[in-house]
Amino acid sequence: MTTKQNFHAHTPRCQHAEGTDESYIQSAIRGGFSTLGISDHTPWPFASGYVSHIRMTCDQLPEYIASLRGLREKYRGQIDLRIGVEAEWFPRYSDWLPRMREAGVEYFILGQHQVDTEEENPYVGSEWALDDDHVRRYADSCAEALRTSWYSYVCHPDLFMRHRRADSFDAACEAAADTICQAALEAGVPLEYNLLGLSLQNGDGTGYPNPAFWRYAAKWGNKAILGVDAHRPMALEDTALWDRGAEELKALGYERVEGLVIPELG
């Protein structure tokens, strides 16, 4: 039986994905996955009243969990469905993460798209990260998140390279990679080689997975995991892209893991 597993997939609740919950499961089965984790962008109870355009709302969380629980039963025996969220680390809202676990969210993957809170800070994958100080802030926030031991892996750890060319991987980028890799090792979690980013690379030297980051980070010996980061069901049927990601990680010297460790929240 295949052990092909993916824990990074979204639903339209995040406002930038397409397809029904069930269509992702059906595509995962056709794509040869034994396990699918749905991990839509986590809602946050922003105290300021800020409304995000890149994630579900808190009011949608119960329906999200109920839908996936129902589909897990429907497809039991065909695929193992896990219920997660892709979550940042926003310290001022840290009590929200255990509350989501109590509500039925089974795992968190760390996708640090903003530092501190989305209310006041720009997207890490924007030109914002061309400033070295912002790169350091991003890495420090990832490390702080990993010290909680609540996250099962680090999504697109090189997101800050989205608008940087590989030849602009400077001392600040090296320091950021060191910070993230060391924290992931200490937490015992892998780094994600993001296949959505791989599919979007256009040959201009920018984007992620960034070759300079992954070559430099290899010295740490972190394990790696493939993440489809599916925002449309058919992405889960792209076996050629999956195989390409696996081959690139092997060439870079990374040990690839399939399964997911789900830590307890202390």
Residue 138, phi then psi, degrees to nearest 5: -60, -50
Q: Of 79, 95, 90, nearest to 50 (Cα)?
A: 90
Dihedral sign, Cα of residue 112, residue 208, residue 55, residue 109: negative
- 0.85 exceeded by the pTM? yes
For 36, the token pair is 């699918």
Beta bridge pairs of residue 18: none
Helix (H) or strand (E) holding 175: helix 171-187
In-domain check, residue 257 = no
In-domain check, residue 69 = yes
Residue 118 sits in a domain of what CATH number?
3.20.20.140
In-domain check, residue 262 = no
Contacts of residue 60, Cβ cutoff 8 Å, sequence gap at least 6? 13, 43
Please give the Cα distance from 14 to 17 (Å, whole number). Answer: 6
Please give the C-alpha separations between residue 136 and each of 33, 180, 192, in angstroms, as whole numbers: 36, 10, 19
Domain that holds residue 125: 5-252
Helix (H) or strand (E) holding 209: none
Q: What is the pLDDT along the chain (266 residues), one digit of tens a residue?
A: 458 999 999 999 999 999 999 999 999 999 999 999 999 999 999 999 999 999 999 999 999 999 999 999 999 999 999 999 999 999 999 999 999 999 999 999 999 999 999 999 999 988 888 889 999 999 999 999 999 999 999 999 999 999 888 788 999 999 999 999 999 999 999 999 999 999 998 777 788 999 999 999 999 999 999 999 999 999 999 999 999 999 999 999 999 999 887 777 65
In-domain check, residue 224 = yes
Q: State the total domains in the chain.
A: 1
In-domain check, residue 264 = no
